[in-house]
Structure 1
């Protein structure tokens, strides 16, 4: 479908769009009314049962781990034990209310959005999918939400607590606080509440009408002119749905600003503690208002800067850096990033056409694509490791029956990521080479904070591997070492047969493997990871059982065939004896 050009064409496109959008909206609302209460009840009842059922265990185990841990000093431990009842008491109340809000939002908006997605350009039989999509999938999605929430409350929580209660190294110092700094921090927090919270909330409410009108103007412009994010999906009327839901987004932004104002104000106490200065904490109380005002101005394309004063709240901050020089530096950095972006687009031969946006030209990936690649790699490489004997049937049964999946859930993904790092370092890639020849770089990786924390260190590890210039036999041994050996001490590799005897080189490689396993351990705590990995392990178990049964049937067939061959040989011998005896009688 071509983009309309000219005023009359745009007007006719807008007029013809209205009835089509109205019918889709009515159908989506009807589906949401029918399916929404069911999904909301599943999420609300399921999550509430998990929260209330596990709350006594969370209460006792949290106190036990805090008392047992050596990562906290005595003062910090006593302070945590005194403050800990507040979040533990608020958790069931806030969790149940959050489950209710999540159930209503997911239950009503998922069928509505699925109705609009059913008329996409790449969907066949659109009429059928308009009525079917968002019904059973929303119910199944609600059950998945409860399952992932159970994994977070049970698996991820106890995993964090285990890390907290582990012994620390001899050279590691426990975290502690200085009691002399606490009164100043408390004073800054008490002063920040009546100052920052009302002012930041007022700024958010004051700018919300402009955000509403500015958003509507942009959405109508994109809808009528088929520009911006709606350029690539001309047939999908998401612009109309966004126009209707935009006031809800603005209201959510105001509520979010109000909630964040408390955390922004409390951060002044951290500033006062870090700088050991009550003056710096008070300066942050004033400066955070200017920072919030300037951030919202940039977000709404208003004038640069802020009318509120911005004081220096760091002792070692560069005093000579004025706002003008900072803007010049940011402009130069922006120019360099644009030049690198052009080089990256030219290098990957993805020059944007007129009907494509720059976002599509660089093919920015989504978080689900990264997870799909990881689990697809685990599936393929897991079968290879099973054939090589590095993954045994006993390990799979232990994971399924006893629930002890720590070995497989950490070492198998770490093996796959290590293989990716080795291939990326060998090919001299700027980022990480994942499946289907896709290169994951700073420009196209998902704009997700959790993935940025995980992917950033992987880029550094890839550069470290490139500098080590590993040989092929060393790479092969590394893949075996990460599955079958510990990587804590140099002595762990003494009987491994690693080709290099350089202790410095071994220590560097062991540090990379330990850090990689730590990153994967953090991945296992993300919602959805455990569910997908358990499904993968079940598939491995079925493959192993089927392979075992096929081997048994093969051995049985071989034994039967050997028995038949023996019987045939015996019959042939007996026949030959009968013939020879008859010949003797004739003679």
Structure 2
């Protein structure tokens, strides 16, 4: 489309936009007013029931795991056990209040945003989608929020606690605090909160008008001039919505900074214990304000550095120039990825284009790829007999999903790494013509924790140069071998007799399964694995007998309709149980 040039063209573009935006905004507000109370009721009721119902089990199991763990020394264990009472009491209150605020935010803003998104759809009847989109889907989404939260409370939390109480490696020392340093740590932590919270809050409030007006100016320039992310017609309505909601983003940033200031102040106690010096702790209390001020200046493209003092708070800061250079290089790299160049200013330079933004993959896209890959691999393994109906029934009935919940995703990651290594890719090949690299990787810290080890494993596989026969046998080993020694692979007919090579591959397998075990703590993981298991269950029944042999429960058209991404979660568990009983009778 043509970008308006000149003052009159820009003015006409802005004036013609106002009624269009106003109608969409009023419609979105009306939908939000209707949907929001329903969403809030579902989220608050569901999450509160989960939290209150599991609160006794969570409290007792937390105390038990902390008392049992060998990872904490005696002094630190006593301190943690004494201080656990406060979060144990506050947890239900925090969860209920958080659910209320989250429900209000999701129930209000989601229908508002989907109303604007409907304009950009390639549908024939956009007017219908403006009214219909964001109603039933948001209510279903609120139910999914409760389901994922329940999964986190039932599975992820207990997994973290079980890991805490596991046996500690012999070469690892327990984490402990020196009793003589404990009073100094508590003193500096308390003083740090009393000093840093007001100062960081003052810095945040002082810089918040800059963030507000600079953001508004940028958005208005993009809207009137139709530049940057608002160059495309589909994105123009979001410009007005962003202008209206920008103050809320500023308020959220201010609140987040104030909350973070408590933890920044408390960290002074950690510095005292690490450096064994009260002076270093007090120096940190002063330095952290300067560090925060410099971070805000960089974020808002204000003057570099900070006028506040920054004394040394580490004894080994003689190497600080190199450390600071590395940190600055890392920060500039992130800034280059976000803005294209570290020299671009917030006001004077154009924004990223929409096409460039699309090239930046979101964590959810990579997450979707993983489960689509698991779906394809699951069907193949089911056909090859490496996944049996017994594995599926154990996951459904006994909730023992190690084969389908850990090994299958780990195998999918292994195949991705093998393909990436063969292609000499700098990143990960996750599809036809789709490559996840350092330049387009999602800018998410949690995602970086997973992508970094995978890139290292890919380089290791690249050096091993596996043959095709080894890759084929490795699939069987991945799904069936439960033994630990490299010699145990002889039962599976592994071609290579090099014990060192086998040990390296076994280490890679254990590493991948450990990564997937960490991924399984993400709330959406269990829900999507359940959907995958249901799909494989249908595939197994369809492959084992015609539909009329099981009472006509699962017709082929039903199987097609209940695809993994389009509502497989709607299959009734009663149908699953009935199918399981009939399958057992046939077997």
Instruction: Classify 1:182/1:489 alpha carbon distance in 2 versus 1 (closer, same or farther; 3 Å).
Output: farther
Indicate the SS of the match to 1:179: coil
Structure 2 CA distance, aligned partners of 1:369 and 1:455? 14
Aligned to 1:185: 185
The counterpart of 2:389, out of the listed 389, 393, 409, is 393
Give the greater-gyration-radius structure (CA): 1
Aligned to 2:506: 510
Structure 2 CA distance, aligned partners of 1:54 and 1:489? 40
Aligned to 1:435: 431
Structure 1 CA distance, aligned partners of 2:299 and 2:33? 35
Structure 2 CA distance, aligned partners of 1:459 and 1:34? 47
| TM-fit CA distance, 1:471 | 2.1
Counterparts in 2 of 1:319-468, with a 5 A limit?
Answer: 321=321, 326=325, 330=329, 357=353, 360=356, 363-468=359-464
Instruction: Classify 1:26/1:362 alpha carbon distance in 2 versus 1 (closer, same or farther; 3 Å).
Output: closer
Structure 1 CA distance, aligned partners of 2:17 and 2:237? 8
Contact 2:294–2:305, Cα closer than 8 Å, also in 1: yes
Is 2:477 aligned against 1:481?
yes
Contact 1:487–1:513, Cα closer than 8 Å, also in 2: no
More deviation, 110-119/487-496? 487-496
Instruction: Classify 1:497/1:331 alpha carbon distance in 2 versus 1 (closer, same or farther; 3 Å).
Output: closer
Instruction: Classify 1:41/1:287 alpha carbon distance in 2 versus 1 (closer, same or farther; 3 Å).
Output: same
Kindly provide the CA deviation profile for residues 220-274 of structure 1, in whole angstroms up to 9, marking residues without a partner as x. 1111111122223455411111111111111111111110000111112222222
Counterparts in 2 of 1:162-201, with a 5 A limit?
Answer: 162-201=162-201
Contact 1:188–1:281, Cα closer than 8 Å, also in 2: yes
Structure 1 CA distance, aligned partners of 2:330 and 2:461? 34
Aligned to 1:566: none
Indicate the SS of the match to 1:122: coil
More deviation, 502-511/514-523? 502-511
Instruction: Classify 1:142/1:504 alpha carbon distance in 2 versus 1 (closer, same or farther; 3 Å).
Output: same
Structure 1 CA distance, aligned partners of 2:96 and 2:314? 40
Kindly provide the CA deviation profile for residues 76-120 of structure 1, in whole angstroms up to 9, marking residues without a partner as x. 322221111111111111111111101111111111111111101
Aligned to 1:70: 70
Instruction: Classify 1:404/1:328 alpha carbon distance in 2 versus 1 (closer, same or farther; 3 Å).
Output: closer
Indicate the SS of the match to 2:442: coil
Aligned to 2:249: 249
Indicate the SS of the match to 1:377: helix
Is 2:489 aligned against 1:493?
yes
Aligned to 1:155: 155
Counterparts in 2 of 1:260-279, with a 5 A limit?
Answer: 260-279=260-279
Indicate the SS of the match to 1:304: coil
| TM-fit CA distance, 1:362 | 7.7
Structure 2 CA distance, aligned partners of 1:235 and 1:416? 36
Contact 1:121–1:236, Cα closer than 8 Å, also in 2: no
Is 2:533 aligned against 1:534?
no
Instruction: Classify 1:171/1:105 alpha carbon distance in 2 versus 1 (closer, same or farther; 3 Å).
Output: same
More deviation, 190-199/228-237? 228-237
Indicate the SS of the match to 1:541: helix
| TM-fit CA distance, 1:493 | 2.9
Aligned to 1:54: 54
| TM-fit CA distance, 1:496 | 3.1
| TM-fit CA distance, 1:303 | 0.7
Structure 1 CA distance, aligned partners of 2:456 and 2:331? 25
| TM-fit CA distance, 1:478 | 2.0
Instruction: Classify 1:21/1:358 alpha carbon distance in 2 versus 1 (closer, same or farther; 3 Å).
Output: closer
| TM-fit CA distance, 1:318 | 3.6
Contact 2:229–2:354, Cα closer than 8 Å, also in 1: no
| TM-fit CA distance, 1:157 | 0.9
| TM-fit CA distance, 1:313 | 1.8
Instruction: Classify 1:487/1:285 alpha carbon distance in 2 versus 1 (closer, same or farther; 3 Å).
Output: farther
Structure 2 CA distance, aligned partners of 1:107 and 1:337? 35
Aligned to 1:140: 140
Indicate the SS of the match to 1:434: strand
Contact 1:28–1:112, Cα closer than 8 Å, also in 2: yes
Indicate the SS of the match to 2:469: helix
Structure 2 CA distance, aligned partners of 1:419 and 1:487? 21
Query: Structure 1-normalised TM-score?
Result: 0.87
Instruction: Classify 1:177/1:407 alpha carbon distance in 2 versus 1 (closer, same or farther; 3 Å).
Output: farther
Aligned to 1:548: 544
| TM-fit CA distance, 1:171 | 3.7
Is 2:516 aligned against 1:520?
yes
Aligned to 2:228: 228
Instruction: Classify 1:148/1:335 alpha carbon distance in 2 versus 1 (closer, same or farther; 3 Å).
Output: closer
Kindly provide the CA deviation profile for residues 183-239 of structure 1, in whole angstroms up to 9, marking residues without a partner as x. 222121011011100000011111112211111111111111111222234554111
Structure 2 CA distance, aligned partners of 1:68 and 1:437? 50
| TM-fit CA distance, 1:361 | 7.3
| TM-fit CA distance, 1:407 | 2.7
Structure 2 CA distance, aligned partners of 1:380 and 1:485? 22
Aligned to 1:572: none
Instruction: Classify 1:286/1:488 alpha carbon distance in 2 versus 1 (closer, same or farther; 3 Å).
Output: farther
Instruction: Classify 1:375/1:316 alpha carbon distance in 2 versus 1 (closer, same or farther; 3 Å).
Output: same
Aligned to 2:215: 215
Aligned to 2:580: none
Contact 1:35–1:107, Cα closer than 8 Å, also in 2: yes
Structure 2 CA distance, aligned partners of 1:169 and 1:486? 21
Structure 2 CA distance, aligned partners of 1:387 and 1:317? 60
More deviation, 454-463/497-506? 497-506
Structure 1 CA distance, aligned partners of 2:469 and 2:540? 29
Aligned to 2:584: none
Aligned to 2:9: 9
